[in-house]
Structure 1
Amino acid sequence: MLDLVKSINSVLWGYVLIFLLCGTGLYYTVLLRGVQIRRFKDGWNRVFGNITLKGEKAGKEGMTSFQALATAIAAQVGTGNLAGAATAIASGGPGAIFWMWLSAFFGMSTLFSEAVLAQIYKDKVDDEVTGGPAYYIKKGLGSNFLAYLFSISIILALGFMGNMVQSNSIGAAFSNSFGIKPIYVGIVLAIIGGFIFIGGIKRIASITEKIVPIMAVFYIVGSLIVVISNIDSFIPALKMIIYGAFNPKAATGGIIGATVKEAVRYGVARGLFSNEAGMGSTPHAHAVAKVKHPVEQGVVGIISVFIDTFVILTLTALVILTTGSIETKYTGIKLTQEAFIRGLGSFGGTFVAIALLFFAFSTIIGWYFFGEANVKFLFGKKGLLPYRILVVIFIALGTALEVPLVWELADLFNGIMVIPNLIALLGLSSLVVKSLKEYEHNITIVDDKKYLDN
Structure 2
Amino acid sequence: MEKFEKILAAMTEWIWGMPMILLLLGGGLFLTIRLRFFQFRYFPHIIKDTFGSMFARTDAQGSVSPFQATTSALASTIGAANIVGVPVAIALGGPGAIFWMWLVAMIGMASKYSEVVLGVKYRVKNKSGEWTGGPMHYLEKGLGWKPAALFFAFFLMIEILASAMVQSNSLSKTVQSSFHISPVWTGLVTMILVGLVTVGGIKRIGSVTEKFIPLMVAIYFIAALIVLVDHATDIPAAFALIFTSAFSPAPAAGGFAGAGVAAAIRWGLARGIYSNEAGMGTAPIAHAAAKTPHPAKQGLWGVFEVVVDTLIVCTITALIVLTSGAWKDVPADQASTMVVAALSNTVGAGAAGAIISICLFFFVLSTIVIIVFYGEKQAEYLFGLRFSKVMRFIYLAAVLVGALGGLEFIWQFLDLMLAMIILPNVVALILLSGEVSELTKDYISKYIHKDERKSRHTA
Specify if TM > 0.5: yes
Deviation at 1:364, TM superposition (A): 0.9
Query: CA–CA distance in 2 between the matches of 1:98 and 1:340?
Result: 23
The more displaced of 336-345 and 287-296 is 336-345
Alignment counterpart, residue 365 of structure 2, candidates 353, 361, 368? 361
Alignment partner of 1:249: what SS? coil
Query: CA–CA distance in 2 between the matches of 1:403 and 1:116?
Result: 37
**Pair 1:283–1:6, CA change in 2 (3 A):** same
Query: CA–CA distance in 1 between the matches of 2:62 and 2:314?
Result: 33
Alignment counterpart, residue 415 of structure 2, candidates 402, 411, 417? 411
Query: CA–CA distance in 1 between the matches of 2:62 and 2:99?
Result: 41
2:116 equivalent to 1:111: no
Query: CA–CA distance in 1 between the matches of 2:457 and 2:244?
Result: 51
Q: Deviations over 1:81-109 (max 9, x none)?
A: 11110111111111111111111110011
The more displaced of 2-11 and 304-313 is 2-11
Query: CA–CA distance in 1 between the matches of 2:249 and 2:405?
Result: 37
Query: CA–CA distance in 1 between the matches of 2:320 and 2:413?
Result: 31
Counterpart in the other structure of 2:405: 401
Counterpart in the other structure of 2:453: 448
Contact 2:340 2:352 in 1 (8 A): yes
Counterpart in the other structure of 1:383: 387
Counterpart in the other structure of 1:256: 257
Contact 1:92 1:248 in 2 (8 A): no
Deviation at 1:164, TM superposition (A): 1.3
Q: When the two structures are superposed, what TM-score results if normalisation uses the length of structure 2?
A: 0.93
Counterpart in the other structure of 2:205: 204
Deviation at 1:177, TM superposition (A): 0.9
Query: CA–CA distance in 2 between the matches of 1:4 and 1:173?
Result: 29
Counterpart in the other structure of 1:21: 24
Contact 1:169 1:356 in 2 (8 A): no
The 5 Å alignment of 1:135-154 reads 135-154=137-156
Query: CA–CA distance in 2 between the matches of 1:325 and 1:403?
Result: 35
Q: In structure 2, give the amino acid aligned to 1:4.
A: I
Deviation at 1:38, TM superposition (A): 2.3
The more displaced of 442-451 and 410-419 is 442-451
The 5 Å alignment of 1:30-429 reads 30-52=33-55, 61-126=62-127, 127-157=129-159, 159-250=160-251, 252=253, 255-327=256-328, 328-330=330-332, 331-346=334-349, 347-401=351-405, 405-429=409-433
Contact 1:282 1:370 in 2 (8 A): no
Q: Deviations over 1:158-212 (max 9, x none)?
A: x211111111111111111111112211110001111111111221111111101
Q: In structure 1, give the amino acid aligned to 2:165.
A: M
Contact 1:42 1:299 in 2 (8 A): no
Deviation at 1:78, TM superposition (A): 1.1
Contact 2:377 2:388 in 1 (8 A): no
2:33 equivalent to 1:7: no
Contact 1:278 1:421 in 2 (8 A): yes
Q: How many residues align?
A: 451
Contact 1:57 1:206 in 2 (8 A): no
Deviation at 1:128, TM superposition (A): 2.3
Query: CA–CA distance in 1 between the matches of 2:235 and 2:453?
Result: 45
Deviation at 1:251, TM superposition (A): 7.3
Alignment partner of 1:62: what SS? coil
Q: In structure 2, give the amino acid aligned to 1:137.
A: L
Alignment partner of 1:205: what SS? helix
Task: Specify every segment of 5 or more residues in structure 2 that has no aligned partner in the other structure, as ranges.
Answer: none
Task: Specify every segment of 5 or more residues in structure 1 that has no aligned partner in the other structure, as ranges.
Answer: none
Moved over 6 A (4+): 54-58
**Pair 1:449–1:43, CA change in 2 (3 A):** closer
Q: How well do the aligned residues superpose, as a CA RMSD in angstroms?
A: 2.1
Q: When the two structures are superposed, what TM-score results if normalisation uses the length of structure 1?
A: 0.94
**Pair 1:239–1:256, CA change in 2 (3 A):** farther
Identity percentage of aligned residues? 37
